[in-house]
Amino acid sequence: MGFREHSARVRRILGIVLAVLLLGGVAVVLVTGGEKDQGTATKTVRGVIGSEKSEFFSDPDVVKALSAKGLTVSTETSGSWDMEQLPLQGYDFAFPSSKGPADELRAKAPDKAAAAPLRPFYSPLVVVAHSNAARVLAGNGLATLGARGTSGILKMDAYLDAVRADRGWRQLKGADKHTELSGTLFITSTDPMASNSGALYLAAASYVADGGRVADGKEAVTRTAPLLRKLTQVQGAQQTSSDAPFRDFVSGVGNPLVLVYESQVAAQLLAGRPMGDLVVLYPDTTVNSDHTLVPLTEGGKELGRLLAEDPELRRLAVRHGFRPQGAAPEFTEATNPYGQYLNQTLTGVRQAPVPTGAVLRDMARRARDQGGTA
Amino acid sequence: MRPRTLPRLLAGLALTLLLTATAGSCGTIDNSAGGTGEQFDKSDTSPAGPGTLRVLASSELADMAPVLEDAREATGVTVRTTYAGTLDAVEQIASGRAEKEYDAVWLSSNDYLRLRPDTAGRISNETPVMTSPVALGVRPEAVARLGWDPEKVTWSQLHQAVAAGRLTYGMTDPKRSNSGFSALVSVASGLSGAQSALSDGDVAKATPKLREFFTGQKLTSGSSGWLATAYGRRTDVDALVNYESVLLSTSGPLTVIRPSDGVVTADYPLTLLTAAPAAAKESAQRLTTYLRTPEAQRRITETTLRRPVVAGVDPAPRLDRGLRRELPFPGSRSVADGLLDAYDNTLRRPSRTVYVLDTSGSMRGERLTRLKAAIAELTADFRDREEVTLMPFGSAVKDAEVRTYTVDPADPAKARDAIRADAGRLSASGGTAIYSSLSEAYRALGSAPRDTFTSIVLMTDGENTDGMKAAGFDAFFRELPAEQRHTPVFPVLFGDSDRSELDHIAELTGGKLFDATKGSLEGAFEEIRGYQ
């Protein structure tokens, strides 16, 4: 396949991906909730949100708590990194899963002062592992495990070195005892061009690989592009939402290492679901998914304030596994019974800053690119 | 009787009772309408009423009927399902046809769908509901004969057993069915030793071994339902390749082998079409929320033998809990399509096909024009190395017009052009000698065994008027050597042909009836390709 044809195709795919997200954003799920019989008149606010928050907004208790404060919230989902492409007239707020797009949305807003973003809750990216895989990683210096063996730290430097060297599971001692641990060692993530968690994974990896620097442009992207391409290409087909690989993991199929949001795991634990042989590995350098609300109207601003401050809504955010902003005794208290899985204080976990949307998109494009000639 | 064979009026009624109707037929696993959606009654896809979700689904999902009935009771959402093969569904989504008729698609996997940029804008939320790996179901006596521990069998061992002539199997057509495609990806990964996602280089490297592996494929099919039926007729085929859930539901004992060096797993994402109306999207959300409850997940694994995706719900006891490596699905369309192309034109055993074509007097005019156009369109689908015979008949086979061509990989256009030219010269005359002509086709194929997928397509627009009678053909067929009785006839219902007559032929020879009276003749011919 010639270079020209190839890059034209990539451009076309990009165009289409953008179109999807735009269309998706305009069309998707209305979650106004069922209960409309509250006595008080409520104000309806419309917003566009990252898909991982749709369960929160459709939770009947959340609908009720908002209604008690006089708000009915109607949401549509969109990829976080594509919200800035949406026409935002008619919306009261946008609620992406990262600070980067929130900053860009604010820059676009007619009244920038009013659009000061709020971060009601956040969730770090973690790696879920089956216990066999986690123990082999620990036995080979790629991870450390806590006393119970159900949570630990993934050493990103060591992991990226293994990826650079195309390390296979069978080159790690102890792996040969486990049938499923063969083939190249890699973490399953989502398509970074379509999904926030996949893009944030690249952000964390590039930060580590580039000696603790946040990519700030083409040169920086070029420095880490070969490694990021490798992280992506070994995976083959990637899903477009972190729900799918997490469900495969729960089902006992799929890759033994899967990148998810901590909130996905915490929500399961808080619902009292037994987690089998799950081990939660916190990368020593990770990225937070900062669920950042950009108010576009007074109604949007009020919603942001309620989500950040209202005790009931903060408690409900915890139910869905999110960490409320600031000192969050709600999260600590609720997750105390699951301390063997969750690193409540994020001890030993460093947050990598996230590049701007434009840089991150460039990174994703270069990583997904099949030809390697662009 | 399966719903699609009921008269049109009853079909409409059956739709309103769809869940019950499919429950009644799910003993045969698959009630696929197969390739061309046009063959379905259009009342199927009329705009949905409130609380109804119109879903284009993989054929094996017919076994979800009892779960969807529970879902209807719990959520008020009625699922109206139309079944299709993966490739057909992908084409329908890409062309925009799906969104005119359905609110959601529910395929075994969206992996292939995602490689098609022309489908990207048309799908939105995807919710995986359950999983099932593609595996081999082997007759227990074959497992014993090969001395295998089912837990430890690798793709290399499977290849060696086939190469040594000790293992034969049936598999669906990878171009039409996700189970076939997943098997192709698995075996290509396994035999190339690829450590991560397949590349073109891996496929090239594994080609000699893959060719050997596919000499053992004795049955091909456009749908998993027919594959199971065809397998049931054969005692000389040792194994079936299919989803674990389908293998465990197949009548007759099969030992399920999930190769220890890796599998490809389907995760059945219920996927909204972007164009679906808001009410349908809301229904879909209610449905998926329900399907993810522990209660529904338990019912799913018990009823369908697929694996649950919700923590705390254990897989049904018959499902082995040992973990397997997941073989990555190709991440680029060029690798996926390259693999499919290699399968069709290089790896699989070639096809050998006789088209027995009614060109009696009643075909004169529009019908003959349609036949010529359908054959002309079909020629593009003939595979490299395929042997194609056109056998037109009226009161008897029109011997002077019978010709056989083989598609030469070095110049595939030559045979295709010649077949197209021959089709253009067909003319209508005489009566309708269905049975004599079929027996001629069997004679032409001869009794000397050849290493091909051999089949006969019968297209007729009327009832038998000349030559051999039905009973005579039955006797003729039963007298054939066993090897020749493996050659199925795929009759195409067209014009005024007699459904019961053609059904009987399909039944007798182990074929399958295709209906071109409601859809197009091209559509029926195209769908039959999956079985050749």
Are residues B384 and B282 part of one domain? no
- What percent of chain B has pLDDT above 70? 90
Domain assignment present for residue B355? The answer is yes
> Would the CB atoms of B117 and A12 count as touching at under 8 Å?
yes
B440 in contact with A at a CB cutoff of 8 Å?
no
Contacts of B337 (CB under 8 A, 6+ apart): none
> Would the CB atoms of A180 and B323 count as touching at under 8 Å?
yes
Distance (Å, whole) CA A199 – CA A189 = 9
Chain A residues touching B328 at Cβ < 8 A = 234-237
Domain assignment present for residue B488? The answer is yes
Q: For B323, which residue in chain A has the nearest alpha carbon?
A: A180
Q: How far is B130 from chain A (nearest CA, A)?
A: 8
Is there a contact between A164 and A230 (Cβ–Cβ < 8 Å)?
Answer: yes
Task: Kindly report, residue by residue over B321-330, the tens digit of the pLDDT.
Answer: 999 999 999 9
CA distances for B120 relative to A18, A20, A273, B479, angstroms: 9, 6, 34, 54
Query: Who has greater pLDDT, A30 or A95?
Result: A95
Query: Both tokens of residue A128?
Result: 């879920």
CB burial string A301-312: b at 16+ within 10 A, e below: bbbbebbbebee
Chain A residues touching B326 at Cβ < 8 A = 248, 253-255
Chain B residues touching A52 at Cβ < 8 A = none
Q: How far is B336 from chain A (nearest CA, A)?
A: 10
ipTM for the predicted complex comes to 0.84
> Would the CB atoms of A237 and B115 count as touching at under 8 Å?
yes
Domain assignment present for residue B422? The answer is yes
Chain B residues touching A178 at Cβ < 8 A = 323
Are residues B339 and B204 part of one domain? yes
Domain assignment present for residue B210? The answer is yes
Interface test with B, best of A179, A232, A242 (most B CBs within 10 A): A179
Are residues B340 and B211 part of one domain? yes
Amino acid at the residue A188: T
B331 in contact with A at a CB cutoff of 8 Å?
yes
Task: Kindly report, residue by residue over B170-216, the tens digit of the pLDDT.
Answer: 999 999 899 999 999 999 999 999 999 999 999 999 999 999 999 99
CA distances for B92 relative to B38, B97, B123, angstroms: 11, 5, 12
| Whole-number pLDDT of residue A30 | 40
pLDDT above 70 (res B8): no
The CATH architecture that domain A124-287+352-368 belongs to is: 3-Layer(aba) Sandwich (3.40)
Domain assignment present for residue B292? The answer is yes
Are residues B289 and B163 part of one domain? no
For chain A, what are the domain ranges? 3-122+291-346, 124-287+352-368
- DSSP line for B104-151: EEE-S-SHHHHT-GGGGGGEEEEEE-EEEEEEEEE-HHHHHHHT--TT
Task: Kindly report, residue by residue over B222-260, the tens digit of the pLDDT.
Answer: 988 889 889 988 989 999 999 999 999 988 899 999 999
Q: How far apart are the first and last CA of chain B?
A: 25
pLDDT above 90 (res B23): no
Amino acid at the residue A156: M
Are residues B148 and B121 part of one domain? no
Domain assignment present for residue B138? The answer is yes
- pTM, 2 dp: 0.86
CATH number for the domain harbouring residue B447: 3.40.50.410
Per DSSP bridges, beta strands A93-95 and A118-130 are: unpaired
| Whole-number pLDDT of residue A20 | 44
Domain assignment present for residue B316? The answer is no
Interface test with B, best of A18, A253, A275, A320 (most B CBs within 10 A): A253
A3-122+291-346, CATH topology level: D-Maltodextrin-Binding Protein; domain 2 (3.40.190)
Whose tokens are 């009327």? That residue is: B462
Q: How far is B83 from chain A (nearest CA, A)?
A: 23
CATH number for the domain harbouring residue B18: 3.40.190.10
Interface test with B, best of A240, A251, A270 (most B CBs within 10 A): A251
Are residues B469 and B370 part of one domain? yes
Distance (Å, whole) CA B299 – CA B287 = 15
Are residues B171 and B281 part of one domain? no
Please tell me what DSSP assigns to residue B485.
G
Are residues B513 and B393 part of one domain? yes
CA distances for A47 relative to A32, A100, A207, B237, B310, angstroms: 11, 18, 32, 58, 29
Query: Both tokens of residue A88?
Result: 């935002």
Q: Which domain holds residue B84?
A: 3-129+268-308
B315 in contact with A at a CB cutoff of 8 Å?
yes
Report how many domains make up chain B. 3
Domain assignment present for residue B315? The answer is no
Is there a contact between B453 and B532 (Cβ–Cβ < 8 Å)?
Answer: yes
Chain mean pLDDT for chain A: 87
Question: Which pLDDT band holds residue B47 (cuts at 50, 70, 90)?
Answer: low
Task: Kindly report, residue by residue over A251-276, the tens digit of the pLDDT.
Answer: 999 999 999 999 999 999 999 999 99
